[in-house]
Amino acid sequence: MFSVENPLNNRASERSGGDLGYNGFPVSLNYFTALPDPTILHNPNVTIIFKSLSKKDSITKEKSLNEFIQLLDDNENTSVVVDELLILSWIQLYAKLAIDNSRSVRILSHQAQSRILGIVGGKAFSKYLLSSIPIWLQGLYDNDKLVSSSTYKTLLQSFQDNKERVDSKIWITFHEPIINYIVTVVTLENHKSMSDQRYTKEADSFAKYERVLNGSVMMLNKVISLINDNEIKVNKGDRELEQIEELLNLDILWDYLGSSISADTLNLPLFKSLLILIRYIFGNVSTDENNEPNVIISNLNSAKTLYKLVSKKFIKHIKLKPSTKGPNNDIIYSNVILQFWDSIVSLTSFSLLSSLQRKSLKIKKISGNWEGIRVALD
């Protein structure tokens, strides 16, 4: 239980995408790197448990997590020393356990994280949040409501039941590692890197990655909403902002608009998250005089480039005409109708910016992409 301090102030090195570790040791979401060595741990019981947590079988991992939590709860008898070696080894495991295909494993992993934080204490553990808080926050956007609600409870328990800290302050304080996590999931990880294909069914490996991918897009929406609300302060040229812009300009991100509503790869939660992302980027903010572009788009190096890309992908992938193949479009869009029309309104309003607003964004003229979208919707 502790208040949030900002350990980023003492950060000594720049980060690059891929490695989620900020404490001098690697942390990875994939199954084959940044694996802990349980033999370095002092407690033989914990060594056995951590070896079991590294195995493929989810039932074994669930059983071992329950045993680990029990050991932590019995810490009053000093049977377990939660030292730095245990914490580092745990965080390396946590990154993989928190995205396991088993709902129980995901729930228990977040509970164990909360227990460790409670034992170590706020000030001592705050530096380790750099490497672990994005993993924890990912659980808030799990597509299983039991996982997301349980994760929220563990965060509240660890942050003095203060909803403001959980809902905004920790996002503001740790936005840099959160952005690094999002970029890693979207650009570097995939279903093959997160699951060992020798032991995992293809459908399960795809489901695992898409669950994490959707959670990451929702985390991106959260970060951008805080930027738009001036909670996270950004300026043009900031490294984190450039990371976001590079991510938003990736074709692969917006191609999910198509694959998420395809018969073979249907993923409505991801489709919905992308529509919300469009609104957060291109939606306007009402002022006393007129509508102004959101903070995020106003601070990008090239708003026009991003607008052209998203418009192009929207036209290519969004089809409203009845389909003879795959899922019925009426059924698909009825599930996301509010987000769908919000995204259309946002793209439309952005195309109608005044000359003064276009000048502030360094846009001489917005091409007729939106006209193409309107035709596609007729």
Question: For residue range 80-116, what is the model confidence (pLDDT) as tens digits?
Answer: 788 999 999 999 999 999 999 999 999 999 999 999 9
pTM (2 d.p.): 0.90
Q: What is the rounded distance in angstroms from the CA atom of residue 153 to the CA atom of residue 141?
A: 13
Q: What is the rounded distance in angstroms from the CA atom of residue 181 to the CA atom of residue 46?
A: 28
Predicted pLDDT at 8: 41
Output the CA–CA distances (angstroms, integers) from residue 43 to 31, 81, 118, 376, in the order listed: 25, 7, 19, 64
For residue range 330-342, list pLDDT tens digits in order: 656 677 888 988 9
**Structural domains counted in the chain:** 1
> Which residue segment(s) compose the domain that 83 sits in?
19-169
Is residue 206 domain-resident? no
Cβ proximity of 7 and 130 under 8 Å: yes
Predicted pLDDT at 326: 55
Q: What is the rounded distance in angstroms from the CA atom of residue 25 to the CA atom of residue 91?
A: 10
Is residue 247 domain-resident? no
Predicted pLDDT at 13: 40
Is residue 199 domain-resident? no
Is residue 301 domain-resident? no
Low-confidence residues of the chain, pLDDT below 50?
1-17, 375-376, 378
Residue 17: partners with Cβ closer than 8 Å, 6 or more residues away? 180, 183, 184, 187, 188, 243
Is residue 29 domain-resident? yes
